[in-house]
Amino acid sequence: MNGGCLSKILLLALLVAATWWAAGKWSQQPASDSAPAFAPAPGQARDAGSIAVAPLVVPEGKLGDWERSNIELFRSVAPSVAAITVEKVGNPRLGVAGGRGAGSGFVWDRAGHVITNFHVIAGADVVLVQLHAGEPIKAKVVGGSEDYDIAVVKLVEVPANLQPIAVGNSKTLQVGQAAYAIGNPFGLSRTLTTGIVSALERHLPTSQGREVRGVIQTDASINPGNSGGPLLDSSGRLIGVNTAILSESGASAGIGFAIPVHLVIRAVPQIIATGRAARPGIGIAAADERLAVQVGVRGVIVAEVVPGSPAQKAGLVPLDLARRTLGDVIVALNGKPVLTVADLASGLDDTGVGNDAVLTVQRGNATREIKARVIDLQGK
């Protein structure tokens, strides 16, 4: 036998041994509930020319702690969240167009008060509130605050099982903690989105040059239709009212804003009692902030003083255009610097109606402190 034949015999023997060893190894595998991928389906014979592939069946897994907490949060809070539809009756003769709008809201108390954004119900002739179950309920507008973008409507018929939302604390929030939004984006009822508190102390412009301070920024998806709905902490407590997004497309770009709940707690009882929230002031009109830049001063220039107002009683002097004199510039309030009208408005908000604000005022090269009583400008 030559060397070539001997090599072929040895190679054949090795192949046979390898095949036997592999078969023996597979035969030793224990049986299991899930058949290997190459096994034939039940009742199907293995075809010598092909291998039948059965779907891989995976037993249902256990929910994680985070999933369970999300499910429980939604179950507990969803009954407190409302879908709000508004209608505006048009008048073609007067050139007034009608229309419909939608937003979100939440139950405030068992008396049937529902909170939403001011811009959701502004100009509405008809307001309908859809709760967790049942038909939409008519509601009447109690009032609102454009400065805070908060409004209150009251259900005409109050269900017996009304569930008010649990209220949390927005002053103890920390960037990075979980945030949850429930609302009706694009009319899709009771949608839960999750994220975090992305930033705090944002400034949100509103009407007449004012700003809402302490606004919460979140990356929980907020879209048209979410306005007026609740922003929640991980315990399902209200920490803000979703009100705006920053987006070039008009859809969520991961930057949403919510009015902090501590302002809601301040404004809502006033709106329920009087139909509006107080606008704290001292009776001045401020000059355009660009003027302060032009003349090189840092602060709020007093442009006008209302006769008989706390500002006049405190001795504030406005600028005099005829004489080209500057008058008084408010540079601080209660020891905090005032650089803009929004700074002044925020400080007066914090001081509160009926209390004295300590103003640091500059006139020429002289600086002095004066006290002025904070009043409700809307009450005048």
Is residue 119 part of the annotated active site? The answer reads: yes
Q: Could you give phi then psi for residue 270, rounded to 5 degrees?
A: -65, -40
Give 121's contacts (C-beta < 8 A, 6+ positions apart). 84, 86, 103, 127, 141, 144, 151, 153
Cβ distance 141 to 155 under 8 Å?
A: no
CA distance 318 to 302: 5
Give 302's contacts (C-beta < 8 A, 6+ positions apart). 284, 285, 286, 287, 311, 316, 317, 318, 319, 327, 328, 329, 330
125: number of Cβ within 10 Å: 11
Tell which residue, 380, 378, 350, has the closest CA to residue 143. 378
Reading the block at residue 217, the tokens are 């920024």
Reading the block at residue 15, the tokens are 């192949």
Please pick, among 80, 104, 119, 328, the residue that the annotation labels catalytic.
Answer: 119
Q: Is 324 exposed, middle or buried (0-12, 13-18, 19+ CB in 10 A)?
A: exposed
Please pick, among 227, 252, 309, 346, the residue that the annotation labels catalytic.
Answer: 227
Please pick, among 80, 145, 149, 221, the residue that the annotation labels catalytic.
Answer: 149
Catalytic positions = 119, 149, 227
